[in-house]
Amino acid sequence: MQPRVTARRGGSIGARRVALVSWLALAFGPGVASAQQAPPPPAPGWAQPPLPPQVAGGYSSPSPSRSRTSRRASNFESNTLYVTALAYGIGLGVWVDAELSPDDPAILLIPPTLLGVAMPVGAYALNHPTLPRGVPGAISAGLLIGAGEGLGIASLQMVTAEEPWGFVGLSRATALGSTLGGIAGYSVGVLQEPSPNISAFATSGVVWGALIGSAIGFGASPADFDFSEANDWMSRGGLIGFNAGLVASMALSTAFVPTLDQLSWMWLGGGIGAVVSLPVYLFYLGDGPPAKRGLLFTATATTLGIVAGGVFGPSLGGLGLGSEGSRWGSIDYLTPLPLPGGLGLQVGGSLF
């Protein structure tokens, strides 16, 4: 029994010596620690805690696996691609039906159903393994923007030309525009991997531009034109606004990338601006200028609401759609640490 007591006391003295050396090194710098002898091994029954990851210069960096994962598209972005591919496939099926004009309802439903399933399946195969972050969003935005461009061109042709394209030309222009837009979106996504928020901003921009441009076009049409005569003004204004919204959103994206909360505030601000402008139509009751002139004020109020929502909205708080906040640090390990007369925890991590 006596040798065991001596060994236990020696271990206790050694542990106190390690604690004293560590305290001195912390208090007076590494010079004191280098002058001491190497500490004895840890007490039996305790495992040596793992050392934090080190790189040149003494700073730790995120693991390669975490970096690769952060560069991949999120589930939300991937699901956006699948939904857009579904709409694209159904649209292609409608175009095929318009070209072939089958009389049998069963035959009529086959192209939209077949392509409506094939396109999401193809998008799923393209996205496995998961595409880099930004690529699915760019493809989705390209498909939608291209479809809108084709739809706007066909609509303007149908209300201005003596021989309108009709539904066949409308579906053909929409399908062709969406296909070209998807190819362009894929090219931009692969070459630049833009933020998904930029793609969402561009898609929102063309919708805002088309709505505001259509309102301005119809509101600015001659006073004695009814809707059947002023629809060419509205179509022309909508197409111009569509492309103006695309150019403006892309130009602004070179200066800042809006968050999803900021985009949601812009949508909310535009809606509030449109609603606030409604009382202006009360002034058009009775004789005087046509009520469609009020659309000019509605377009102005909507535009200002979008701008105000993007600038001031985030300061009012998030709407629950914001992107993940920036990370300033992470915990890499948490291990038990033996201390004289007790037990502690050792925490290590990384600062970004």
Residue 244 lies in a domain: yes
Q: What are 338's strand-pairing partners? A: 343
CA-to-CA distance for 109 and 94, rounded, in angstroms?
A: 9
Q: Is the dihedral of CA 60, 64, 70, 74 positive or negative?
A: negative
Total domain count, the chain? 1
Q: pLDDT at position 95, please? A: 96
For residue 133, being part of any structural domain is answered with yes
Residue 58 counted as domain residue: no
User: Would you call the peptide bond into 132 cis, given omega within 30 degrees of 0 as the criterion?
Assistant: no
What 3-state class would DSSP assign to 98? helix
Give me 153's structure tokens.
């061109």
Q: What's the pLDDT at 350?
A: 58
Residue 309 lies in a domain: no
**Does any domain span residue 224?**
yes
Q: Rounded to 5 degrees, what angle do the CA atoms 162, 177, 300 make? A: 75
Q: At what angle do helices 227-253 and 135-160 cross, to 10 degrees?
A: 150
Q: Measure Cα distances from 83 to 78, 188, 199, 324 in Å.
A: 9, 20, 15, 23
pLDDT, residue 337, reads 64
Q: Packing angle between helix 196-219 and helix 135-160, nearest 10 degrees?
A: 20
Give the pLDDT confidence score for residue 39 in this predicted structure: 53
Per-residue pLDDT of the chain (352 residues; tens, 9 = 90+): 444 444 444 444 444 444 433 433 444 444 444 444 455 555 555 555 555 555 444 444 444 443 444 589 999 999 999 999 999 999 999 999 999 999 899 999 999 999 999 999 999 999 999 999 999 999 999 999 999 999 999 999 999 988 999 999 999 999 999 999 999 999 999 998 899 999 999 999 999 999 999 999 999 999 999 888 899 999 999 999 999 999 999 999 988 899 989 999 999 999 999 999 999 999 998 888 899 999 999 999 999 999 999 999 888 766 655 444 333 344 555 566 666 666 565 666 654 4
Dump the DSSP string for 174-229.
HHHHHHHHHHHHHHHHHHH---HHHHHHHHHHHHHHHHHHHHHHHHTS-TT--HHH
What is the per-residue pLDDT for 21? Answer: 39
Q: Is residue 328 part of a domain?
A: no
Amino acid at 203: T
Confirm whether 285 is domain-assigned.
no
Instruction: Please give the pLDDT value at position 347.
Output: 60
pLDDT confidence of residue 40: 56
Cβ(200)–Cβ(260) below 8 Å: yes
Does 271 reside within a domain? no
CA 255 to chain centre: 16
Phi, psi of 339 (to 5 degrees): -125, 155
- The candidate with the shortest Cα–Cα distance to 196, out of 256, 133, 126, is 133
Count the alpha carbons within 13 Å of 182 in the hemisphere toward its beta carbon: 18
| Whole-number pLDDT of residue 60 | 42
Q: Give the separation between CA 26 and CA 267, rounded to whole angstroms.
A: 55
Q: Could you tell me the residue range of the domain that residue 161 belongs to?
A: 73-258
